Chain A
Amino acid sequence: MSTDFVRTICPYCGTGCGIILRVEDGRAAATYPDRENPVNRGTLCVKGWFAHEFVHHPDRLTAPLLRKGDSFEEISWDEAIGIAAERLRETAAKFGPDSIGGLASAKCTNEENYLFQKLIRAAFKTNNVDHCARLCHAATTVAMVDTMGSGAMTNSISDLAGAGCILFVGSNAAESHPVLMGEVYRAVDAGAKIIVIDPRETPVARNADRHLRIRPGTDIPLVAGMMRHIVDIGLHRTDFIAKRTENVDELTAFLHEWSVERSAKETGIEAAVIREVAETYARSENAAIVYCMGITQHICGTANIHALCDLAMLCGHVGKPFSGIYPLRGQNNVQGACDMGALPGVYPGYQSVADPAVREKFEKAWKTELPSAPGLTVTELIGAAGSSVRALYIMAENPAVSDPDVNHVMASLQRLDFLVVQDIFLTETARFAHLVLPGACFAEKTGTYTNTERRFQLLHRALEPPGGAKGDFDILCLLGRSFGLDFDYASPGDVMAECARLVPAYGGISFERLEKTGLQWPCPDSTHPGTRFLHEGRFTRGLGRFVVPRYVTPAETPDAEYPFYLNTGRVFSHYHTGTMTRRSPFLIREIEKAYAEINPDDAVALGVGEGGGIRITTRRGSIVTTARITKRVDKGSIFAPFHFTEARANALTNPVLDPASKTPEYKVCAAKLEKVPDEAG
Chain B
Amino acid sequence: MLDELKKKAREILKAGDAQGVLGLKRGLFDVIHPHVFTAAEELDSLVTEPKWPLAKTARAILRDRPGDFRLAVAARGCDERAVVELIKRNQIDRERILILGYTCGSEQAKACLCSRPWPEKRVAGDIVEGIDPLADDRVRPYLEGDDRARMERWAEQLRRCIKCYGCRNACPICICVPCKLEDDLWVERGAVPVEMVPFHLIRAFHLSDTCVACGACQEACPAGIPLMTLQLSMREALRKEYNYEAGLEPERTSPILSDFNREPRPGQALPDWIHTMDRKT
Q: Do A and B come from one complex?
A: yes
Q: Does A136 contact B (CB under 8 A)?
A: no
Q: Quick one: which of B28-75 are within 8 Å of A by CB?
A: 28-36, 38, 50, 52, 57, 60-61, 64-66, 69
Q: Does A555 contact B (CB under 8 A)?
A: no
* Interchain Cβ contacts within 8 Å, total number: 115
- Beyond A45-B222, A181-B223, A591-B189, whether A36 also contacts B31 by CB under 8 A is yes
Q: Quick one: which of A203-228 are within 8 Å of B by CB?
A: 203, 206-207
Q: Does A298 contact B (CB under 8 A)?
A: no
* Seed contacts A35-B219, A49-B169, A591-B190; 19 additional CB < 8 Å A-B pairs: A1-B66, A2-B38, A5-B34, A24-B61, A30-B57, A32-B57, A36-B50, A42-B219, A43-B166, A43-B220, A43-B222, A44-B220, A48-B164, A174-B192, A175-B162, A181-B160, A182-B224, A203-B193, A515-B28
| B166 lies within 8 A of A44 (CB) | yes
**Would you give the shortest CB distance from B125 to chain A, in whole angstroms?**
21
Task: Collect the chain A residues with CB atoms within 8 Å of residue B193's CB.
Answer: 174, 203, 206
| A46 lies within 8 A of B224 (CB) | no
- Beyond A24-B64, A174-B162, whether A185 also contacts B224 by CB under 8 A is yes
Q: Quick one: which of A36-93 are within 8 Å of B by CB?
A: 36, 40, 42-46, 48-49
Task: Collect the chain A residues with CB atoms within 8 Å of residue B160's CB.
Answer: 181, 185, 207
| A49 lies within 8 A of B166 (CB) | yes
The CA of A206 and the CA of B32, in the complex, are separated in Å by 38
Q: Does B165 contact A (CB under 8 A)?
A: yes
Task: Give chain A's interface residues, CB within 8 Å of chain B.
Answer: 1-3, 5, 7, 20, 22, 24, 29-30, 32-36, 40, 42-46, 48-49, 174-175, 178-179, 181-182, 185-186, 189, 203, 206-207, 512, 515-516, 571-573, 589-592
Most chain B CB within 10 A, of A33, A48, A186, A512, is at: A33
**Would you give the shortest CB distance from A460 to chain B, in whole angstroms?**
10
Total contacting residues, chain B, CB less than 8 A: 40
Task: Collect the chain B residues with CB atoms within 8 Å of residue A22's CB.
Answer: 57, 60-61
| B223 lies within 8 A of A5 (CB) | no
- Beyond A5-B35, A49-B169, whether A206 also contacts B159 by CB under 8 A is yes
Q: Does B126 contact A (CB under 8 A)?
A: no
The CA of A175 and the CA of B30, in the complex, are separated in Å by 34
The CA of A407 and the CA of B28, in the complex, are separated in Å by 51
Task: Collect the chain A residues with CB atoms within 8 Å of residue B64's CB.
Answer: 3, 24, 29
Q: Considering the complex of A and B, which 4 residue pairs feature the smallest CB-CB distances, nearest first?
A: A515-B29, A43-B222, A591-B190, A178-B162
The CA of A206 and the CA of B192, in the complex, are separated in Å by 11
The CA of A186 and the CA of B165, in the complex, are separated in Å by 20
Partner of A203, one of B38, B57, B192: B192
- Beyond A34-B33, A591-B190, whether A182 also contacts B163 by CB under 8 A is no
Task: Collect the chain A residues with CB atoms within 8 Å of residue B192's CB.
Answer: 174-175, 203, 572
Partner of B222, one of A24, A34, A44: A44
Q: Does B130 contact A (CB under 8 A)?
A: no
Q: Does B77 contact A (CB under 8 A)?
A: no
Task: Collect the chain B residues with CB atoms within 8 Å of residue A29's CB.
Answer: 60, 64
Q: Quick one: which of B249-271 are within 8 Å of A by CB?
A: none
**Would you give the shortest CB distance from B90 to chain A, in whole angstroms?**
21
- Beyond A3-B61, A572-B192, whether A35 also contacts B162 by CB under 8 A is no
Task: Show 24 residue pairs from A and B whose CB-CB distance is below 8 angstroms, ordered by the A residue.
Answer: A3-B64, A5-B33, A5-B35, A7-B31, A22-B61, A29-B64, A33-B166, A33-B170, A36-B33, A43-B222, A44-B164, A44-B166, A44-B222, A48-B164, A174-B162, A175-B192, A182-B222, A203-B162, A203-B192, A515-B28, A515-B31, A572-B162, A590-B190, A592-B189
The CA of A592 and the CA of B61, in the complex, are separated in Å by 30
Task: Collect the chain A residues with CB atoms within 8 Å of residue B222's CB.
Answer: 40, 43-45, 178-179, 181-182
| B190 lies within 8 A of A35 (CB) | no
The CA of A43 and the CA of B217, in the complex, are separated in Å by 10
**Would you give the shortest CB distance from A642 to chain B, in whole angstroms?**
16
Q: Does B172 contact A (CB under 8 A)?
A: no
Most chain B CB within 10 A, of A43, A48, A174, A592, is at: A43
| A182 lies within 8 A of B223 (CB) | yes
Residue-wise interface mask of B (11-36) relative to A, using a CB-CB cutoff of 8 A (1 in contact, 0 not): 00000000010000000111111111
Question: Nearest CB to that of B69 among chain A residues?
Answer: A1
Q: Does B221 contact A (CB under 8 A)?
A: yes
**Would you give the shortest CB distance from A160 to chain B, in whole angstroms?**
12
**Would you give the shortest CB distance from A414 to chain B, in whole angstroms?**
35
**Would you give the shortest CB distance from B92 to chain A, in whole angstroms?**
16
- Beyond A44-B222, A589-B182, whether A36 also contacts B163 by CB under 8 A is no
| B220 lies within 8 A of A33 (CB) | yes
**Would you give the shortest CB distance from A660 to chain B, in whole angstroms?**
34
**Would you give the shortest CB distance from A35 to chain B, in whole angstroms?**
6
**Would you give the shortest CB distance from A219 to chain B, in whole angstroms?**
24
The CA of A515 and the CA of B189, in the complex, are separated in Å by 38
The CA of A103 and the CA of B66, in the complex, are separated in Å by 47
| A46 lies within 8 A of B164 (CB) | yes
Task: Collect the chain B residues with CB atoms within 8 Å of residue A516's CB.
Answer: 29-31
